[in-house]
Amino acid sequence: MMASQLTPRFVAQARRLPFFLVAAASISLALQLPSGYSQNGREPVTPATSGQTVNDAAGVDALNPGTGSGRKPDAAVTDTGGANGSQIPDNGSHAANVKTYGAVGDGVTNDTAAFNAALKSVADAGGGRCLVPKGTYLISAITNPAITSHVSSNVHLVGVGRGASILEVAGMPAGNFLFCSGDNWSVEDLTIDMGDYTPSVGSAISCRGNNWRVANCAVVKSGKWGIAAFGGNNWSIERNYIRRTVPGARPPTGAILVTAAAGVWSSHGRVIDNVCEGVGITISGSDGFVAGNQVSRSGSGSGIFVQGLPSTHSPTITGNVCSGGSSGFDAAQGGRWWSVNGFEVWAPDSVICNNIAYDNDGGGFAIGGQNSIVIGNKAYNNGRGRHGYAGFNARINPARGTSASHSIFIGNSAYDTRYPGSDATQDFGYREQGSGLSDIKHIGNDYNRNRIGPAKSFSAGGQMPISPEMKSKLKALADDADMPDSARRALREYLNR
């Protein structure tokens, strides 16, 4: 099976972005996808077996997307033992160990004060690392945030690995668990256990500022939101595992939320290589990069939802897998039926490339942003909730002035593996929803082998020439070695006309 990886063009783009962390030297800035993301077959998202906890030694490996895909774990996330259960290299910067400030880490003692004191000491020193050795640290939930000392500019909260350094909330949170703000900070190699509580507001990790990153963390028994980013530039949420284990309320709940703070939206944010179970990802902002994420069993909204204007434009969504989105009948919402798509993208100028959506109760891909490039994606066995869904759905929202008009679909495939059997559920390969769509081009797509037919409601396409900007993007994609062969051939034939 061919691995779905970041295109060379976009990998280079991600690497060019400045990222000024002063954390451990072992932190890698290379943003690559694991080799396990397949474009040619189902890749079940099963980081942990049923009933397994992140405390188990086997669970630590299972919850690390890197260890299962050929990537070697960073040296900084390896628990190497020592007097306090870890040996975290200092690298010459100021460091404060939470155990030095009285933390016990036995899962019984309230360690909140020790974390507040250790984080404050690092901030007062102008930055450095707050070290969290192996252990389970109980944190009270009576304040918002639960840990009142913020992770602030140049402060790096660092554990010894997921499933080793565990922070556990002691009750219903009053709001955020951990609040991070400023520039050049990081949170890495920790597990946060939110206890299946769903507060009215807040997240496990709340993020603001520029040039920060949250990496290789786990949020288990997730409540409201796992990781939430509010504005800021050039940040990264990568290689995290987020799991919601109990049925939740209607939206908004989710694994990762990217939204605004005081009217300021994100720019050049990166959401990469995260594994999300039971909850999905919601993205906004300009020039975002969403790559290599695996989302399974999202219970509301979409597996990956990308907002539209005025908040969001020009995102790149590549190499992601969304599966098993589950829908239902919601009596609390006036008897409304709701369904879960794999992907839902309303932003204009989107590049949606090399993704997979399968076994979702709604459609595979819903596209509602103008001038979007939808290329080399696969959608199969969707529409499980009820009839009428397609692998690819072009949409229009007149109230918001957005639609999929002037978009181009190249080398995509949509099918039901059970066709022509009576148990097939994906009705169409392609469908247009709403009147007023125009100039949508289809080149080299395979919309066959669906329950009812290939397509429903084609608009008049190909009447307008593509813009120079879109043509430049298409030329770059044509040279991408990781693009599916069928999509690359169709694209080159189109460009050579």
Picking from 378, 340, 385, the residue whose alpha carbon sits closest to that of residue 357 is 378
pLDDT at 248: 53
How many other C-beta atoms can be found within 10 angstroms of the C-beta atom of residue 142?
11
Q: Helix, strand or coil for residue 366?
A: strand
269: confidence class by pLDDT, cuts 50, 70, 90: very high
Q: Which amino acid is at 468?
A: P
Long-range residue pairs from 244-248, CB within 8 A, at least 24 positions apart, any chain:
244/277, 244/278, 244/279, 244/299, 245/196, 245/220, 245/221, 245/278, 246/196, 246/221, 247/299, 248/198, 248/278, 248/279, 248/299, 248/300
Least trusted range by pLDDT, from 36-45, 116-125, 278-287? 36-45
402-403 and 365-367: which strand pairing?
Answer: unpaired
Q: Which amino acid is at 150?
A: H
Rg, the chain, Cα only:
23
Q: Which amino acid is at 400?
A: R
Whether 271 and 292 have beta carbons less than 8 Å apart is answered as no
Instruction: For helices 485-495 and 468-478, give the axis angle rounded to 10 degrees.
Output: 140
Distance CA 218, CA 188 (A): 9
Most confidently modeled of 79-88, 365-374, 380-389, 465-474? 365-374
Query: What is the 3-class SS of 375-396, one letter each residue?
Result: ECCEEECCCCCCCCCEEEEEEE
Residue 19 makes CB contacts below 8 A (sequence gap 6+) with 29, 211, 213, 234, 236
359: confidence class by pLDDT, cuts 50, 70, 90: very high
Helices (H), 310-433: none
pLDDT at 19: 32
Question: In degrees rounded to 5, what are phi and psi of residue 324?
Answer: 70, 20
Whether 272 and 307 have beta carbons less than 8 Å apart is answered as no
pTM: 0.82
pLDDT, average across residues 483-493: 90
Q: Which amino acid is at 149?
A: S
Would you say residue 118 has pLDDT above 80?
yes
Per-residue pLDDT of 425-482, as tens digits, reads: 999 999 998 888 999 999 999 999 999 999 987 766 666 788 899 999 999 999 888 7
Distance CA 266, CA 257 (A): 11
pLDDT at 326: 82
pLDDT at 481: 81
Give the helix/strand (H/E) hosting 275: strand 275-277
Q: Which amino acid is at 100?
A: T
pLDDT, average across residues 81-105: 68
Residue 345 makes CB contacts below 8 A (sequence gap 6+) with 304, 305, 306, 315, 317, 352, 365, 366, 367, 368, 369, 372
How many other C-beta atoms can be found within 10 angstroms of the C-beta atom of residue 110?
13
Q: How remote is the C-alpha of 120 from its chain's centroid?
A: 31
69: confidence class by pLDDT, cuts 50, 70, 90: very low
123: confidence class by pLDDT, cuts 50, 70, 90: very high
Whether 360 and 379 have beta carbons less than 8 Å apart is answered as no
pLDDT at 251: 53
Per-residue pLDDT of 447-458, as tens digits, reads: 999 999 999 877
337: confidence class by pLDDT, cuts 50, 70, 90: low
pLDDT at 41: 31
